[in-house]
A = this chain, B = another copy of it.
């Protein structure tokens, strides 16, 4: 199938890119610069893998999210909380309707460029605080995109029943170099090691039984 892949430059979506490249025809990978504190760290990672695989890569500017939306993930928001991803305080990093926005743009882009589907990489660990990673959202969203486009764009989410450890195992099989991915929401020189997404990243390598190549501030 001809696909558009949503690519942040993080661990999950980069693994997804490699899997989709193996199994489908990837027309382009789309990234979004929406004012997250770590966009400047993850977007170069996204570009690196697209360049390596010879895949067209586009970054959609969405400054309006930073300007008008409320979230601690954004430069306009408060400090990134520390702790486990599933903790209540991580909720302040939710960017309202972010995935609906990105998926809709990707669907319009897909139809405009002759693609038949959009692939994106939510997994079971996202479900605790991010409502827009759950099947309760994804199922009707997939139906809306299919019914709302002339090309009946399909929404692929192959990792939705996998945990992050299984994703890392998959990526290792695909020959991925995880040192070239970025997770930390703080967006500093190296991964902080303490924010929710760093804690989850560490867990993923531990679950996968794979050495973690990440440099953390706090090891």
Residues of A within 8 A of B (CB): 58, 60-61, 63-65, 68-71, 91, 94-101, 103-105, 107-113, 131-132, 134, 136-137, 140-141, 143-145, 147-151, 153
- The answer to whether B101 touches A108, judged by C-beta atoms less than 8 angstroms apart, is yes
Task: Establish whether residues B112 and A149, one from each chain, have CB atoms under 8 Å apart when the complex forms.
Answer: no
Q: Give 17 new A-B contacts, CB below 8 A, not counting A58-B68, A96-B150.
A: A64-B105, A68-B109, A69-B112, A96-B109, A96-B111, A96-B112, A96-B151, A97-B107, A97-B108, A97-B111, A97-B145, A101-B108, A132-B149, A140-B141, A140-B144, A140-B147, A141-B141
Closest Cβ of chain B to A30, distance in Å, is: 9
Is B101 a contact partner of A101 (Cβ separation < 8 A)?
yes
> Does A94 lie within 8 Å of B148, measured CB to CB?
no
Which residues of chain B are near A94, meaning CB under 8 Å? Answer: 150
Chain B residues lying within 8 Å of A103, measured Cβ to Cβ, are 104
Cβ–Cβ contact B149 & A131, under 8 A: yes
Q: Determine if A105 and B112 form an interchain contact, defined as CB atoms under 8 angstroms apart.
A: no
